[in-house]
Amino acid sequence: MQTSPKNLIDAFGRQVDYIRLSITDRCDFRCTYCMGEDVSFLPRDEVLSLEECARIVKAFVSLGVSKVRITGGEPLVRKNAIWLFEEIGQLAGVRELVTTTNGSQLEHQAQALKASGVKRINISLDSLNPERFRNITRVGDLDKVLRGIAAAKQSGFENIKLNSVLMRGINDDEILDLVRFAIVQEIDISFIEEMPIGSVDHARDSSFVSNIETLATLQQNFPLISSALNTGGPARYWQVAETHTKIGFISPHSHNFCEACNRVRITCKGELYLCLGQDDKIELMPILRANPNDDEPLINAIIDSMKIKPKGHDFDLQRAAPAVIRFMSHTGG
């Protein structure tokens, strides 16, 4: 038996205090950069139950994790997802419970999410043009998402942030419009560089837009003040002067953030991935199912996993094959 350390520290001295848990691989959208059109989803018994998700989160929280992000797939299409948010929201060690959603269910679920203890939400939005939004998401309804954003604003979250993946020739001409929308809504926005995860039907190296270029475009059009804000994530923030809006940049290519990595990811199958861009993982589901009434083996496995957290990732747009053949909807973005 191991004695539980209070904190999770990896072999490079980094403390892991943030987990991202994907609670489903299912989604009501089929974003081109995220999943194939004819994606097949996992059978139900290969997916963690919500009770198993709660056990995993509690184990991590007992080891000093204080920030939990619930993601997917689309987390809010999972039946009874709100129950899990409520369970996590009650844990004393959880300082920040946050989620990433495509916004399609927020119209009806934003209030319950806020009541469960969720403080901040990220809502993905890549276009303000209904037809283009449909093309990128393959099936999504922009109006529904805009109503979801309005419902989230009314629910009183501490922070709402849009996440936009820019792709050249697809939506990069909307940079300014997306920022203007965020300013009018008095919410934040982050630009995410497209990551070579899984396979897509557009060429990644030609669609890739660097955040260095995005920032330069924005600086020519808005008065930006570098912000010291640190959310514990890899984004870097700029305040748009005299507005309530901050602009963030999540830049796995142009800025290597591995040295400050404080997180691990758990898929809806219970795979604990130690790095978004590497294959190192351990399987938590067999441990959970073999020990339904004892969390000690789970806690010990999590402690042991720290030894194999890699130093960093290695994304390369020029490489023929994606760095890791794994879809974001599987790993949890």
333 touches ligand SAM (CB under 6 A): yes
Q: Which residues contact 201 (CB under 8 A, 6 or more apart)?
A: 32, 36
Least Cβ distance, residue 163 to ligand SF4 (angstroms): 9
Least Cβ distance, residue 240 to ligand SAM (angstroms): 21
Among 8, 21, 34, 187, binds ligand SF4 (CB under 6 A): 34
Q: What is the DSSP string of 246-314?
A: EEEEE-TTTS--GGG--EEEE-TT-EEES-TTS--EEE-HHHHHH-TT--HHHHHHHHHHGGG--S---
100 touches ligand SAM (CB under 6 A): yes
Please report, as residue ranges, which positions from 110 to 139 form the binding site for ligand SF4 (by CB under 6 A). Answer: 124
190 touches ligand SAM (CB under 6 A): no
31 touches ligand SF4 (CB under 6 A): yes
Please report, as residue ranges, which positions from 150 to 169 form the binding site for ligand SAM (by CB under 6 A). Answer: 163, 165
Least Cβ distance, residue 94 to ligand SAM (angstroms): 20
34 touches ligand SAM (CB under 6 A): yes
Nearest CA to 85 out of 70, 106, 96, 95 is that of: 70
Least Cβ distance, residue 40 to ligand SF4 (angstroms): 14
Partnered with residue 244 across adjacent β-strands are none
174 touches ligand SAM (CB under 6 A): no
192 is in the binding site of which of ligand SF4, ligand SAM, none (Cβ under 5 to 8 A by kind)?
ligand SAM
Least Cβ distance, residue 329 to ligand SF4 (angstroms): 4
Least Cβ distance, residue 29 to ligand SAM (angstroms): 7
- How many angstroms separate the CA atoms of 227 and 278, rounded? 31
302 touches ligand SAM (CB under 6 A): no
C-beta closer to ligand SAM: residue 10 or 194: 194
Least Cβ distance, residue 268 to ligand SF4 (angstroms): 11
E-strand stretches of 81-217: 96-101, 120-124, 159-165, 188-192
- How many angstroms separate the CA atoms of 4 and 296, rounded? 9
Q: How many residues bind ligand SAM (CB under 6 A)?
A: 19
Q: CB–CB of 311/10 below 8 Å?
A: no
Q: What are the CB-based long-range contacts (under 8 Å, 24+) for 245-248?
A: 245/179, 245/182, 245/183, 245/186, 245/187, 245/188, 245/189, 246/188, 246/189, 247/179, 247/182, 247/188, 247/189, 247/190, 247/191, 247/218, 247/222, 248/161, 248/188, 248/189, 248/190, 248/191
73 touches ligand SF4 (CB under 6 A): yes
Among 98, 189, 192, 274, binds ligand SAM (CB under 6 A): 192
Among 16, 19, 21, 35, binds ligand SF4 (CB under 6 A): 35
30 is in the binding site of which of ligand SF4, ligand SAM, none (Cβ under 5 to 8 A by kind)?
ligand SF4
74 touches ligand SF4 (CB under 6 A): yes
- Footprint on this chain of ligand SAM (rule: CB under 6 A): 27, 33-34, 71-72, 74, 100-102, 124, 163, 165, 192, 194-195, 197, 328-329, 333
